[in-house]
């Protein structure tokens, strides 16, 4: 299996079923910090990233937003004092797509690449 973090999103068309729980289980090992949850009937994946400085949280959210724009696949970003909570799912199919796991892996890559907070 190729590394999700090296993949790009495919244009997400509607009309495909959301990933099954079994399929989701095959992707989770590559993004172990992400939680699968259900909200408003849609399955989603969510992770909170901790920051000591609000300005760093803001900068990280901006980076993720730019990645999302480049890939045409967008998350929910909740920016709070001390953390950014990111949720990925595919609105068009009301659930999870491989794209969401690609974007979670690439989000982890952005976080790992951040300089250590002093």
- CB of 84 closer than 8 Å to CB of 76: no
Q: What is the 3-state secondary structure (H, E, C) of 36-76?
A: EEEECCEEEEEEEEECCCHHHHHHHHHHHHHHHHHHCCCCE
How far apart are alpha carbons 98 and 100 in whole angstroms?
Answer: 5
Identify which of 107, 110, 105 has the alpha carbon closest to the alpha carbon of residue 5.
105
- Residue 47 or 73 having the CB closest to ligand H2B: 73
3 state SS of 5: helix
Binding site for ligand H2B (CB under 6 A): 12, 72-74, 90-92
Task: Using CB positions, name the residue nearest to ligand H2B.
Answer: 92
């Amino acid at each position: 299996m190729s590394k999700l973090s090296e993949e790009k999103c495919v244009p997400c068309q509607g009309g495909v079923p959301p990933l099954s729980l079994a399929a989701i289980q095959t992707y989770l090992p590559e993004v172990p910090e992400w939680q699968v949850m259900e909200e408003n009937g849609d399955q989603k994946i969510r992770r909170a990233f901790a920051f000591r400085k609000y300005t760093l949280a803001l900068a990280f959210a901006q980076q993720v937003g730019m990645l999302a724009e480049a890939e045409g696949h967008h998350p929910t970003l909740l920016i709070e004092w001390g953390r950014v909570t990111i949720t990925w799912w595919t609105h068009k199919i009301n659930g999870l797509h491989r794209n969401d796991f690609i974007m979670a892996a690439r989000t982890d890559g952005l976080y790992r690449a951040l300089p250590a907070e002093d």
